[in-house]
Amino acid sequence: MKKKISLRVIKRISFYYEALLKLNLPQNSYISSKKIEEITGISCNQVRQDFFYLGISIGKQKKGYQVKKLFKELKKVLSIDRGARIVIIGAGRIGQALSNYKLFKDRNITVTSLFDIKPELIGKQVGKDDYQVPIMHINDLANYLQENHDIKIALLTIPEEAAQETLDMLLRVGIRGIINYAPKILKLPDEARDVHLVNDCIGASLYKVVYQLYQRK
């Protein structure tokens, strides 16, 4: 039976993975828990505890962890070793920026299409010559997902007045993972217990930092 890992641990594991991406070390080199602490701010003791808890026993005394093997293990824990294909609902500035987010590739994530309702956007391609993403009409989403059964995740980058209605529509067409960037807290119906929703309002995070900054004065 697969061990159930708390979201708190998963968050730290994602920091370790991001640290490896940032350092861009040779695959056959080694990295110490102390070096991971320097990059992430998470204590080396906590790093070692997390790796021990997850059964990652690939370290060598005085050398650390081999980068190639550690990458493989962290990907397995985060499930990104399988890869993920996603869609973006809303082809405005934020949606287009996310579709061209170059670090998605390093994270084994592929944006396959954007969806919108604006006639002037439908049919366009966004991105670079070697990687372009089509913009389709939202009415085509259900058929698109039927033809692409593996796509279960959507990023929501639309105006707040349409966000809850769109969320309900996404549930009906089979989306099971949603990150909401609209400035509105969305709610799942009681029957959608197997759906994962993250409300990630950019403004709210900024307000929190501004508040904390001025409270310390």
User: Given a cut of 80, is residue 27 above it in pLDDT?
Assistant: yes
What total number of domains does the chain contain?
2
Same domain? 133 vs 187: yes
CA–CA gap between residue 78 and residue 99 (Å, rounded) = 21
Domain enclosing residue 144, as ranges: 84-206
- Whether 212 is in a domain gets the answer no
Mean pLDDT, rounded, for 182-197 = 89
Same domain? 101 vs 67: no
pLDDT of residue 60: 65
**What's the sign of the alpha-carbon dihedral 27, 72, 79, 34?**
negative
Who's near 34: CB < 8 A, 6+ residues apart? 44
- Whether 202 is in a domain gets the answer yes
pLDDT of residue 58: 66
| Domain of residue 28, CATH code | 1.10.10.10
Tens of pLDDT, residue by residue over 85-112, are: 999 999 999 999 999 887 677 778 899 9
Mean pLDDT, rounded, for 166-175 = 94
pLDDT of residue 215: 75
Which pLDDT band, with edges at 50, 70 and 90, does 216 fall under?
Answer: low
Tens of pLDDT, residue by residue over 8-21, are: 899 899 999 989 98
Lowest mean pLDDT among 31-40, 102-111, 137-146: 102-111
User: Given a cut of 80, is residue 71 above it in pLDDT?
Assistant: yes
- Whether 217 is in a domain gets the answer no
State which H helix or E strand residue 31 sits in.
Answer: strand 30-31
Same domain? 72 vs 105: no
User: Given a cut of 90, is residue 124 above it in pLDDT?
Assistant: yes
What single string gives the DSSP state of each residue in 33-91? HHHHHHHH---HHHHHHHHHHTT---EETTTEEEHHHHHHHHHHHHTTTS-EEEEEE--
Q: Name the pTM for this structure.
A: 0.76
Mean pLDDT, rounded, for 143-151 = 95
| Domain of residue 142, CATH code | 3.40.50.720
Same domain? 64 vs 122: no
Task: Evaluate whether 107 touches 85 at the Cβ level (below 8 Å).
Answer: no
| Domain end point (choices 54, 78, 102) | 78
Q: Which residue has the higher pLDDT, 162 or 62?
A: 162
Same domain? 112 vs 201: yes
pLDDT of residue 203: 67
- Whether 214 is in a domain gets the answer no
Task: Evaluate whether 77 touches 14 at the Cβ level (below 8 Å).
Answer: no
| Domain end point (choices 21, 47, 78) | 78
CB atoms within 10 A of CB 200: 13
User: Given a cut of 90, is residue 201 above it in pLDDT?
Assistant: no
Which pLDDT band, with edges at 50, 70 and 90, does 137 fall under?
Answer: very high
- Whether 164 is in a domain gets the answer yes
Q: Which residue has the higher pLDDT, 136 or 7?
A: 136
- Whether 213 is in a domain gets the answer no
State which H helix or E strand residue 17 sits in.
Answer: helix 7-23
Same domain? 71 vs 88: no
